[in-house]
Structure 1
């Protein structure tokens, strides 16, 4: 995270050196396709179930020629190894282990899996030190669906009948619901189209509930309303496609 912090401080220097000339290639309306990577720390009910985790994502957005307004869709896939809740306690023997079909101890790992998908609006705000009006502060707000569950991974050589594909649904605590995400950071759309990326922090608030009709661990249905919070640092590489650019007397290949 310390490396990300210093990188974030250096972002404005990358764009401030760019001159904005008559025939620069980042003008006009555009479609921006991005590929992202993130590191996140959960809070609220989310933090009671999972620990720090990572994400990969992709999306596409439209940027307007006038005003640098952003309108887009995106998704992020969450994954991690830190699970604070153990839904399998009812299957443990006196030694705290689970016995498989081969009468040996089963090797079972719990993992965090989830995703966020939604649409966003925002704005790219040029800052005074840069002569490139397509680089500056990026701020967006998003509304979508947040979903997460506990993935139960077992060694196939020590099959546990209680954990076949159908029974796992009673233990995975699948939850989803409406969520909102806010992002603020720095974005660079270079004048030569060679350097295009963004980096910043994002905050997610999910209003979720269990989507399983029965929880095997508690032997009842989970009807509690959850507040899932997530804060993270996200970086993204952008592939831009512009339309309506001012014609140049030179031809670029």
Structure 2
């Protein structure tokens, strides 16, 4: 399953009032694992960068002046996303800006059904608790120390970690999934665990072992711990 975790940075809050995208960052996940493939572009917003936006993003007019306009990167962005689900924090905001720019180009709109909104997931999972990206990083113990300014690619990488925690954490299948047997002449190349030559010592103390034995003794002869 392919998913795209993405973030945009903008000059403000409303594209209809003249605000524009100044950065897009996206990372690819396959089976909830980052593949290393990314999409990242700084974009010339064709307008001045407001002071408050500069303070948030650290992107000034001089830096953005020679960057491509959205029309030059819009198709490449659509090609990267394809029909994969898009994981976005506060998806309504980013989708509003992206579809505004894509509409200006006459390109297809991104349907809402293609988005997975991690903000909505967090609010449902932790009602009444702060749900910002920084707050979720603190909750899950994710290091976001490099996030001194908002940056689309860095935020996408952090959001990917947050997303995996929100859906239960990235867990290995411990070899329990069904795998096809090798055909004649073929051999398995996958790693399989081997028994330990020396069993690990018990981590229970004598006091804990005695307390457990006393507890089991009170359960009678039907206790599962007494069955072999």
TM-score class, shorter = under 0.3
Q: Compare the two structures and name the one with the higher strand fraction.
A: 1
Normalising by structure 2, what TM-score? 0.21
Structure with greater helix percent: 2
Q: TM-score of the superposition, structure 1-length normalised?
A: 0.20
